[in-house]
Amino acid sequence: MIDDIKFALHIVIHPIDGFWDMRYEKRGKMKAALTIVLLTIATFIFERLVTGFLFDPTYNASLDILFQFRKVLFPIVLFCVANWSITTLMDGEGRAKDIVMATCYALTPLILVRIPLTIITNFMTYKEVAYINFLDQLSMIWLVFLLFLGIMTVHRYSVTKTIFIMLLTIVSMAIILFISLIFFSLASEITGFVYTIYKEMTLRL
Amino acid sequence: MKRYRNIFKLAVCFILCICFLLSSAITGEVYCENSNAAGNASQDHQQVNMQKDSHSLMIEPGMTLIAENDFLELYIDKETTVVAVKNKKSGKLWYTNPPEWQSDTMAANNTNKLRSQLNITYADMNGAVTVIDNYAESIEKGQYEIKPIQNGIKVVYTLGNASRGIEDIPRKISNERFQKLIFDKADEKDQKVLKRRFSHFKDGDVWIRREINTKEAVTQLLEILDKAGYTQADLAKDNLDNGIPASATAKKAFTVPLEYWLDKENMVVQIPMSEVQYPEMYPIIKMDVLEFYGAAHYEQGGYLFIPDGSGAIINFGLTQKGYKKFFAPVYGVDKSILISEKKYINEQVLLPVYGIKQEEDACFAMIEDGDALANIQASKAGLTNSYNTVFSNFDFTKMDAITLGGSMKSGIVGYQKKIYDGNIRIRYAFLSGNDANYTGMAHYYQNYLVNKYKMERMTPKESIPFCVETIGAIDKIKSFLGIRYYGREALTTYKENIEILKDLQGAGVNNIKLRLSGWFNKGMNQTIPINIRLERKLGGASGFKKLVEYAQGTGVTLYPDATFMTVAKNNLGFFKNDYIAKTIDDKDAESYYYNTATYGIDKFYRNVFSRYILAPRKLSYVVDKFIHKYKKYDIGSVSLNDLGNEVHSDFNDNNTVDRQSAFNMAVKQVENIKNSIGSIMLNKGSAVTLPYADFVVNAPGEHSWYNIEDERVPFYQMVLHGYIEYVGQPINLSSEYKKEFLRAIELGSGMYFKWMYQEASAVKGTDHDFLFSINYKDWFARAVQYYKEANEALKDVQDRRMTGHSKMAQGVYKTDYEGSISIIVNYNKTPVDIDGVSIEAEGFKMMRGGK
């Protein structure tokens, strides 16, 4: 347990070393990775509930917990699927499991930064919003940075290739979204068509 | 030559004189021309006026007397089927069609309409609509029959093509039948003709009719067929056997009987729907009845009265640019027909009446039967002719385009399967002298309701009514561990209602009517009232019992509000199809909310507030169940939210209920509730349900403000005042509450407030956030003060009839009551002086006997 926490923190500070250990020294654990995801969701819920009134853009509306789950899980799943589909074709060495773990471990800074930040918002004035925003964005930048290095290490890519792969991943994410959108609209179109035929038959015959 | 011409002229004059004398001797009295008709007007104008007066006072030549009683005389012109009624009291003649139609220059080629009594709109199966009038299609062709009935006359019109034609000749007939039925029976000469007109096809062994272009050929063939004894039944069989669609042979002939008879001081016009015939393929969509009855030339003085909201009048005159006809369905729109766009926010027509005032006479029409099918239409002169008209038309077959999904537009049109089979009956009353105005009409209607429905005169109370509506529970999105769900939010519990009542009584408010909204079955979005589940959040059964006891102990009338005609959408689940009405294209009928910016159906509010329409056939079951459960609480009074002001048909294929039947069912249920529960509060009560009511809320205080309307008149209030207590809109929800208060004084209504006990924040973030201004503490002091001021003015006139209403100056109105009490209301922000009486800004003054 303590080891897992230490390892997660190790990855945050020494990403290349950490991700290497995760992939090739078997130090990463799927359970730990999923716990990090749950903690991230918890962070978002915490942020939603505890953020000081001044910095709360939701005007105290009631919390929708299912939305928070979706908000975190959906991008992760989408990214993992898209990245796996691209890297298997581009001879990446990482397995699906490694991609998921790398993505999950990369979420750690979000937890580290945002929980204290949320508490701090209760003591800050609106003039200090700049600091809040800075730290907020810092956590995101750090996340992206870790994700980048994680993917690079796991697949043993060069930096330029990783940049290329990341761009491709984004494109394939868009394609996945697009195709699923088409699928759903087509499905509703087909049911509508069947219903129309039924209706026309009842009316004309 | 010249001498001969003069002699000729003299002779003609002489003959004309004799003719005139003879005709007047037959038809009755001759009235002298009114010589002081036009006063100082120009010569030209005088002539026009004299001509008009002579027409309205002197019976036209050719009219024969049909029936007569102490009040009226009924005449008909058998050549034109124009019917006239003479009001014996004033001598005024009321024609179904303007006698001087020939002099109408505006009508141009449109004079047929001026001479017709009925306009029929029919549709074919593709949805194409045609309008025909009974002058061109029946009278001119001589296709009508006049039969005497008791006290009156019945004219049976056959419109359209009644004679036989090409559609009576078979198009396709099998060889066997052709030989047996026709060919063998014809003589040699005719057989030649038949061979020429029909050709034999080996394929299928049939005879097919060739194209026939001349009328003579058709008559010749028909004669041959008749001689051979070929009947309509044979024709139908041949068409069926050979797959000729019925539409190809259907004849466009419509038979419509129109009955007129005198009933004491009224003339009654009736169309018995059972005797109306029309081809199945050409359903009658609607019918205009007596469009020009009492039509007034634009140079005459007077006005049209229409029951738009509280009532409105249209002064005679020429139409102006941008003016449209007034058209409104009686009892509001039928929500079982999908309206995809709603462009106007308008008042509802609650009373099926209209009238026309000409000079010193007035004619007042009440639709007695078929009222729910009626639309009231009024138009000013200048659109298609020079007459101001107000009349009713009746929707018989509702039709609607059925959209089949997908991008392809398909042309299927659906029709109502079964149509109304009762009578259409309009009762005309004739008023003259002091009664010849809308006040007279209102009093006439009041008496009519009193005599026919036993509407009872009010007993004066010690003070005017103070009606307070409280909102019980509303839906609010709540979350449990962050999982959202719709929960109930209590705005006014039963206990808090008692508190409000105590406060009001403590402040000296009497005659309190408490209308409870959203008090049971899930609050404001009430579920079907076949059982009563009291909200636990509001205090449950024990809390409710305490409220009832408290109200009964302190003389407060409790009106718990129930909604019957619509059903919450998430309510019925599996049994949905048993309970809800269907549209013509067999979808679930729904009441929509419209977006004022886009005119379209508001998707957001559709999710929140849309409700299904209850099938009318289920109404009696639901009401009976409700009464059964409701009686347990022993309240003795109930408020009906939508019974009596909305009517919706049901186009369910197997169980079509037309609008009139639906309305009759609703009225029957109001009566049922009255008999088994007791006192009834109606929300915007309509005509026939009014006599059952003890209290009316939301009585319309305005008209729709169409540009054709010249003035608002408090007709609705005049009918009710002295008989039924009423209030207008809630004063605190009005955009200008002071104005709404003054309006209550002007219209003689009680005070009406809509309150909740909770702070405004309770509705924040809910779908009911428009109720932000109804916290009772914010309004309490002002409400009590208003009540006391209003009580001072209106206490003494509670049980008196309203005898007049007039505009004294801009924003200053005077309302008169029996016993020469009048109240002048000043809406202006400055004081005014009226006849030496000064009235303060936004104030009012009561005057007895002119003081």
Residues of B in contact with A45 (CB under 8 A): 482
Chain B: nearest CA to A186, how far in angstroms? Answer: 12
Q: Which residue of B has its CA nearest to A192?
A: B405
CA distances from B204 to B173, B706, B806 (A): 10, 64, 81
Residues of A in contact with B481 (CB under 8 A): 65
Q: Which residue of A has its CA nearest to B765?
A: A61
Query: Using the beta-carbon criterion (under 8 Å), do B484 and A195 form an inter-chain contact?
Result: no
Residues of B in contact with A199 (CB under 8 A): 402, 404, 585-586
- B227 vs A100: which has the higher pLDDT: A100
Query: Using the beta-carbon criterion (under 8 Å), do A64 and B484 form an inter-chain contact?
Result: yes
Substitution target from B478, B484, B584 for chain A, most A beta carbons within 10 A = B484
Q: Is the pLDDT of residue B607 over 90?
A: no
pLDDT tens profile B722-736: 999 999 999 999 989
- A23 vs B672: which has the higher pLDDT: B672
- Report the Cα B451 to chain-centroid distance in Å: 22
Burial pattern B565-597, b for ≥16 Cβ within 10 A else e, equals bbbbbebbeeeeeebbbbbbbeeebbbbbbbee
Q: Which residue of A has its CA nearest to B477?
A: A62
- What average pLDDT score do residues A52-59 get? 81
State residue B613 phi and psi, 5-degree precision. -90, 130
pLDDT of residue B410: 59
When CB atoms are compared, the residue of B402, B406, B482 closest to A45 is B482
pLDDT tens profile B701-751: 999 999 999 999 999 999 999 999 999 999 999 989 999 999 999 999 999
- B589 vs B404: which has the higher pLDDT: B589
Beta sheet of B512-517, edge-to-edge order: B725-726, B695-697, B679-683, B637-640, B557-562, B512-517, B466-471, B751-755
Which stretch of B23-37, B332-346, B652-666, B685-699 has the lowest confidence by average pLDDT?
B23-37
pLDDT of residue B31: 37
Which stretch of A158-162, A180-184, B259-263, B276-280 has the lowest confidence by average pLDDT?
B276-280
Query: Using the beta-carbon criterion (under 8 Å), do A200 and B414 form an inter-chain contact?
Result: no
CB-count burial class (<10 Å; 0-12, 13-18, 19+) for A194: exposed
Chain B: nearest CA to A68, how far in angstroms? Answer: 9
Q: Is the pLDDT of residue B124 over 90?
A: no
Name the band, by pLDDT with cuts 50, 70 and 90, for residue B7: low
Chain A: nearest CA to B775, how far in angstroms? Answer: 22
8 A C-beta contact, residue A103 and residue A75 = no
State residue B341 phi and psi, 5-degree precision. -135, 135
pLDDT of residue B680: 94
Q: Is the pLDDT of residue B472 over 70?
A: yes
- A150 vs B603: which has the higher pLDDT: A150
- What is the amino acid identity at position A17? D
pLDDT of residue B57: 56
When CB atoms are compared, the residue of B402, B412, B479 closest to A62 is B479
Q: Is the pLDDT of residue B25 over 50?
A: no
Substitution target from B479, B480, B761 for chain A, most A beta carbons within 10 A = B479
pLDDT above 90 coverage of chain A, percent: 67
The helix (H) or strand (E) run that includes residue B456 is none
pLDDT tens profile B332-387: 999 998 888 888 888 999 999 999 999 899 999 999 999 999 999 999 998 888 99
Which of residues 38 through 77 in chain A touch B, CB cutoff 8 A? Answer: 45, 61-66, 68
pLDDT of residue B49: 42
pLDDT above 90 coverage of chain B, percent: 56
When CB atoms are compared, the residue of B404, B477, B483 closest to A199 is B404
Distance CA A21, CA A154 (A): 10
- A145 vs B834: which has the higher pLDDT: A145
Strand partners, B468: B514, B753
pLDDT of residue B13: 55
pLDDT tens profile B575-591: 888 899 999 888 899 99
Name the band, by pLDDT with cuts 50, 70 and 90, for residue B43: very low
pLDDT of residue B35: 35
- What average pLDDT score do residues B50-70 get? 70
Q: Quick one: DSSP state of residue A57? A: T
pLDDT of residue B109: 73
When CB atoms are compared, the residue of A65, A192, A200 closest to B482 is A65
Query: Which residues does B709 contact at the CB level (< 8 Å), separation at least 6?
Result: B306, B308, B312, B313, B314, B326, B703
Q: Is the pLDDT of residue B19 over 80?
A: no
pLDDT of residue B850: 60
DSSP-based three-state secondary structure for A22:
helix
Distance CA B466, CA B650 (A): 38
Name the band, by pLDDT with cuts 50, 70 and 90, for residue B168: confident
- B12 vs B206: which has the higher pLDDT: B206
pLDDT of residue B603: 81
Distance CA B848, CA B819 (A): 8
When CB atoms are compared, the residue of B482, B586, B765 closest to A64 is B482
Q: Is the pLDDT of residue A128 over 70?
A: yes
Residues of A in contact with B407 (CB under 8 A): none
Query: Using the beta-carbon criterion (under 8 Å), do B402 and A203 form an inter-chain contact?
Result: yes
Find the Cα–Cα–Cα–Cα dihedral B344, B349, B353, B358, rounded to 10°. Answer: -30
Chain A: nearest CA to B404, how far in angstroms? Answer: 6
pLDDT tens profile B772-792: 889 999 999 999 999 999 999
Name the band, by pLDDT with cuts 50, 70 and 90, for residue B485: confident
Substitution target from B404, B408, B583 for chain A, most A beta carbons within 10 A = B404
Name the band, by pLDDT with cuts 50, 70 and 90, for residue A203: confident
Name the band, by pLDDT with cuts 50, 70 and 90, for residue B101: confident
Q: Is the pLDDT of residue B819 over 70?
A: yes
- What is the amino acid identity at position B33? E
Q: Which residue of B has its CA nearest to A60?
A: B765
- Report the Cα A62 to chain-centroid distance in Å: 24
8 A C-beta contact, residue B207 and residue B175 = yes
8 A C-beta contact, residue B483 and residue A66 = yes
Chain B contacts to A (CB-CB under 8 A): 402, 404-406, 410, 412, 414, 477-479, 481-484, 585-586, 765
Distance CA B450, CA B817 (A): 19
Chain A: nearest CA to B760, how far in angstroms? Answer: 16
Residues of B in contact with A63 (CB under 8 A): 479, 482
When CB atoms are compared, the residue of A61, A66, A193 closest to B406 is A193
pLDDT tens profile B425-448: 999 999 999 999 999 999 999 999
pLDDT of residue B42: 39
Query: Using the beta-carbon criterion (under 8 Å), do B483 and A192 form an inter-chain contact?
Result: no
- B16 vs B588: which has the higher pLDDT: B588
- What average pLDDT score do residues A136-145 get? 94
Q: What is the 3-state secondary structure (H, E, C) of B80-107?
A: CCEEEEEECCCCCEEECCCCCHHHCCCC
Substitution target from A41, A46, A62 for chain B, most B beta carbons within 10 A = A62
Which stretch of A2-16, A92-106, A138-152, B164-178 has the lowest confidence by average pLDDT?
B164-178
Query: Which residues does B404 contact at the CB level (< 8 Å), separation at least 6?
Result: A196, A199, A200, B410, B412
Chain A: nearest CA to B403, how far in angstroms? Answer: 9
Distance CA B336, CA B321 (A): 34
